[in-house]
Structure 1
């Protein structure tokens, strides 16, 4: 029976091509993701090495520059410490800075310091293993299974089998679906094992969570194909019905959700905040500098009696003005963060309307590359920026010279990993879909003779 099923499975050219395209696409996604992740990690390590060499170079000098000059040129590296799973499920890591270099100047001008991408060279979407599993896997399942019953009817074998025992014929269909599901699970297993070897992924709870989600997602689409088969229509009807279902869940519903959220929430706020901060900073050169310092000391009263200086320029005013320009758009920035949190909550809730969108969100969340993980990184960058500022203020306002020990004491960025704190995925939705579709297909096959 196994030999017979395998012969049936691989007899069509479309099936062979689809299987080959899927496995090649999966392996290519893993390879490209691994190279991209390796390059990202190399850049992060290089930034740290360069910073340490600059520190050593400054320490090698007999006379160390004043803190204002050091802080202006000292771009301290930060790193979004992505796990190797980010190579497979990119999420926000492909669209945002993951290794920002921060100094004591205004933060708003730094967290958006990213080159504009030429629209003519911009990719339409990210190609990773998540894309292969979420979008290409359902198409392969449709090719393998949706026309099983109609092909048996068209060949005349179904009528012959039903003449002996209709329930036996139905069992053969379910058995054929089961063998195809086992084949898909084996292919998913190969992709995950190759990923584990290439990226040194530990075979831990996260590995089996993502693997189990992928297998459950595949089972969901097999059940969708089974329900479509139960209508006992032609191969053309089945293929169109499956493609329409795929387009609905994979393209139309996610596209409508993202379009609605983009219209509902303003995504230009960061650019507006960065522009406003820059304009306020530039205008500060033509305004009363002592008044700016007095406003700054309202936040740091310990420096209230140390704002006077004799020259036309002093670093204490310069960094105070940068902080004031940040504070001027703080409410706008915080409102944007709250808005993004609301947008993410809506996206999580509305993703229940699309198994594909839900599955992809779960992959990114478990891999630590979703919006929440990115905002967690930005929060730590903001806290680190404050740490740098408050480190240099005593040197500026007290006119304290910098020693070699002070150079070593310059604060360093420490990333706190949030991935291990994430809870289990909300797999109950996929499980609910599986149970519902399984019951529907079982009832329909029991009630119809399919002759």
Structure 2
């Protein structure tokens, strides 16, 4: 028994030494660590620059208001509202530096005025949310796509290498199942190593971004470690087939391609063909045509149509000049209303598309994992839609603020400029909850991942027990 214990200790020491022996292992670990640190660094800089731009926009707008107040003669409200581009801000969590999701500079700090909102949101393709890609080179990409490759390099050929070296038969001669225990021990060592690297990446992120070590931090970490365990058991299942190293490597690469690339690709391709982005373009084009045609149509009739929604101004729509700001902003609102059906259709389609994406994501643990990371960080599609909706509400506040000045021909005072509505920042991130009743079960990526991991663990262990030493 003493000799067996000494042998086990020697094997453990040998495995720890062998873990860092291969060149492929060293290169894979180095590339993964450097990529992770680079993603954190770039994400932190991008997030800080974004927040600085948002703060600068607010300061500049404040200075502009102060400059106008110092003028001897204040402009009329129509002119003031035309040039006043009020800043908005998607108040992102620092976690979006690591998991960018839908957050991009041109979508998180829109500036709006009292003109038609549809044209401001979709004024060009670069800031059209329907053309916006999801994610980028961030820590979420490193964990979702590069982490499985690292796990494959570290673990998928453990059994085949033992057989080729002859250690598998030798160790099995000392005690029952000792060779199989060696494989599981080697897997556990590699899982601990990868888990430590991931933990260090999260700790580095917390230090760099001043993130608290709270429930959110450990939720991200636990989800990532569950995803790590899933891929280790994928490797274990492939090893249990008892094939050659070439077969194991190709099988793991094929599994990664199917789970992380092909299935998400087919899901996005299918949803993109089912839910097109034609409505935003159609709405933007129609809105501009309606607005341009309004210059050649009966302006008084346009005001009559406008006061159907704002009857308090029915007695104030008459004017004698060829142009009045009241008609101009009324026409802006009418052009928005003309595409309201397109807008509502687009929103409904996006919600339906997101619902299907959430359901179908269970087919791909990689897609499920990345979506859950973005959801926890508050950078997913739902959070971005909430920001756009808050912009719409703010735009309505601006419009309804200026209408009394336009229709009553009320001059602007310095005090009125102080009361101009400002955008109320919205915190899009939500604290993780344990099975709240209002959330569908399909949103619990960690439960699905944990279930898949447990299934893989049971299957691979069962197959290992049936292996014969030969």
Name the TM tier (shorter chain): over 0.9
Offset from partner CA, 1:282-325 (integer Å, 9 cap, x none): 01000000000000000000001100111110000000000000
Match 2:466 to one of 442, 447, 451: 447
Name the counterpart of 2:19. Answer: 9
Change in 2 beyond 3 A, CA 1:422/1:103: farther
Conservation of the 8 A alpha-carbon contact between 2:93 and 2:428: no
Match 1:388 to one of 395, 398, 408: 398
Which consecutive unaligned segments of at least 5 residues does structure 1 have?
none
SS in 2 for 1:270: helix
The 5-angstrom pairing of residues 97-136 of structure 1 reads: 97-114=107-124, 116=126, 126-136=136-146
Name the counterpart of 2:46. Answer: 36
Matched, 1:152 2:152: no
CA separation in 2, counterparts of 1:257 and 1:95? 27
The 5-angstrom pairing of residues 48-63 of structure 1 reads: 48-63=58-73
The 5-angstrom pairing of residues 172-211 of structure 1 reads: 172-211=182-221
Moved more, 418-427 or 389-398: 418-427
CA separation in 1, counterparts of 2:343 and 2:77? 29
Moved more, 33-42 or 131-140: 33-42
CA separation in 1, counterparts of 2:203 and 2:222? 13
CA separation in 2, counterparts of 1:433 and 1:216? 10
Name the counterpart of 1:429. Answer: 448
Q: Tell me the CA shift for residue 274 of structure 1.
A: 1.0
State the TM-score, normalizing by the size of structure 1. Answer: 0.97
Which consecutive unaligned segments of at least 5 residues does structure 2 have?
1-8, 435-443
Conservation of the 8 A alpha-carbon contact between 1:149 and 1:229: yes
Match 2:327 to one of 308, 314, 317: 317
Matched, 1:68 2:87: no
Conservation of the 8 A alpha-carbon contact between 2:101 and 2:374: yes
Offset from partner CA, 1:175-222 (integer Å, 9 cap, x none): 110010000000001100110011111111111101100000000000
Conservation of the 8 A alpha-carbon contact between 1:67 and 1:401: yes
Change in 2 beyond 3 A, CA 1:408/1:422: farther
Conservation of the 8 A alpha-carbon contact between 1:269 and 1:333: yes
Match 2:172 to one of 159, 162, 187: 162
Change in 2 beyond 3 A, CA 1:114/1:3: farther
Matched, 1:370 2:387: no
Q: Tell me the CA shift for residue 415 of structure 1.
A: 2.1
Name the counterpart of 2:222. Answer: 212
Name the counterpart of 1:87. Answer: 97
CA separation in 1, counterparts of 2:166 and 2:51? 59
State the TM-score, normalizing by the size of structure 2. Answer: 0.93
Q: Tell me the CA shift for residue 132 of structure 1.
A: 0.2
Conservation of the 8 A alpha-carbon contact between 1:366 and 1:419: yes
Q: Tell me the CA shift for residue 268 of structure 1.
A: 2.6
Name the counterpart of 1:298. Answer: 308
Name the counterpart of 1:420. Answer: 430
Moved more, 411-420 or 171-180: 411-420
CA separation in 1, counterparts of 2:34 and 2:283? 44
Change in 2 beyond 3 A, CA 1:435/1:124: closer
Conservation of the 8 A alpha-carbon contact between 1:232 and 1:450: no
Offset from partner CA, 1:337-370 (integer Å, 9 cap, x none): 0000000000000000000000000000000000
Q: Tell me the CA shift for residue 159 of structure 1.
A: 1.2
Offset from partner CA, 1:17-50 (integer Å, 9 cap, x none): 0000000000000001111111111111111011
CA separation in 2, counterparts of 1:95 and 1:335? 26
Conservation of the 8 A alpha-carbon contact between 1:97 and 1:114: no
CA separation in 1, counterparts of 2:88 and 2:100? 19
